Structure 1
């Protein structure tokens, strides 16, 4: 079996932790598996480098920022490789250009286009453990790029997918500082339950809705290539959580799988926009051309040919999106453009929602009962998301977690009732 193991910043946060990571990698190899390790920068290093850039200038060039922040992984990969070698096993550290992780040119949030896995497979055939820098790549011009926060998760899954041309039995393990996926953030809900398994679809919705366990793109890749994905802690021997294809049991037995929240939200509202599809397209095309991802959109009913449109973006994209919106408003004679950085998102997610009615009613009733006002709503087959005040986000998570009885205590009680 080939196991691709990704180790996050906390897992390689100091020399002792790096030694422990090396021991885990060697144990996996000793058990008869081939191993590829993907490593993040040491905890806090990326933030330190970003802070250096912003001390120098309030608006650092993004290409140069990627050059700077990519150096963190070069340090950690070399140290992990050294630690493996010191245990008597062959290892080699590899940076983006050495294995040709080719991306587009969207600096600080690039997307992987292809990986040349030939060299990796050759190293594995020689019994060598490749230790690869996560989070980064190179574009077609040879410029260093980075994949955005959590990008090492995507690197690991993409490498696993690229090796499918050479190997059949592949899994990917994501090692972090938590021992799996929970029904809610345990820092908000201490009694949240660790899940033994979850479907790709549910994990993808949790990730895009604010759960910080995995980068959403990594889950999407795992789902596309049907790669079993495990989330584990590098500090325990817990089995963690398996992310896999949905089963009939998942659909029928579990209605709501978890509650996610995201405070990294900002809302922009354009008042008095002409209710003309071509005008609205112009607005969203300008935002798309700036490589800004829009999350939620609402539109009011047309009154005298005018409508209001609201949408959300991430907080880091707010400034640019607001400037584009103001330019658009000026050009098209809009009444006003409003911006709000004090919003957040709460989401209820579960694949069982496909076959069970009444989830929305329970969600909105629970929020209203707790005095939490909903500003925007979006839905999919397995998710309902609401924009609310940022100050209400944690309260909303607790309320909804209790409403859908997701805690370890509640679920034990339900199992006991079923047995009796």
Structure 2
């Protein structure tokens, strides 16, 4: 089937992208292979028509674009947005804890983590480390322990008889993972363990000192096909690396005839207020350098943004949590997300274009509206729409287990969204 190879590449991307830095690096490698040229924000840009380019900020956010054969002033820009971060447990700056012979690390909860599934799982550790090397230079290194190195054990039910009825989690005291056993006089510093890992991954780099790190724990189990008929994909970080992968493949596989852009921001899960987040200036800066700041308003008036972020599929055990007329089903098509209180940026015009393209391709789509008595989440869509003034659509692949350490989606929906976004990126009329 057409989506089989697409899904296998998706599974590889998910398994090899445990952090935003690794995801961004893997996207850059794919862009390099496709002939896109890397840009440095510190240098002058000399952009040419019909070429592909990308820029990275903080190592964790990336913007890639095709200049197209027509000027953005004439054609507008077809934009797709997603985010590289996912809820997780991040290691604190001074994390060492020694209790009853166990060596543990203090962690900070990042984003809206569904905490219970983090217990009793094989955990690994990955992220960015900043070091002083042997030449006296400050440099960044990405590390990934790859194998299980930590575990957060549950308290046995014999010691907590109410566990199945009422077990709350204290973020400070209940979550520090166990990494190893140590003697009472142990003086191991976490930086020593990082140096050991750096020696394995960067044998040619002399590390004089570990100056800082941004490391997070992740599920060591790789992404997989699941279900008796392989109709599901199970993985960590489906929200929202799935959308990053779809947007990446759509941009690379589009014809390149029209100006098109992919932005994958970090920090969406904590509000997007950062230099590389959707509330920051990264996208505006790239557009200004591409189109000219004096032309940006005219370009935006002809452009459209598709904010791709996964949607809440109907849970078979909790179907009453959805509006009865707006319950998306897995493998029944991507989900147009609507909220008239502007938690999603979709309007009738942006939704109509997506429906029109889908109808032309003979592909399915669904619509989600949250129950009127429940709060609604949000995406980078409203933030980008407000910052740029661009017509925006919020859409996403339906999934279950959102913000868990392990999530589930259908095998057909991602490929469907890829087909529509590829057509969108090469469509002559969007503005």
TM-score in terms of structure 1 length: 0.34
Greater share of residues in helix: 1
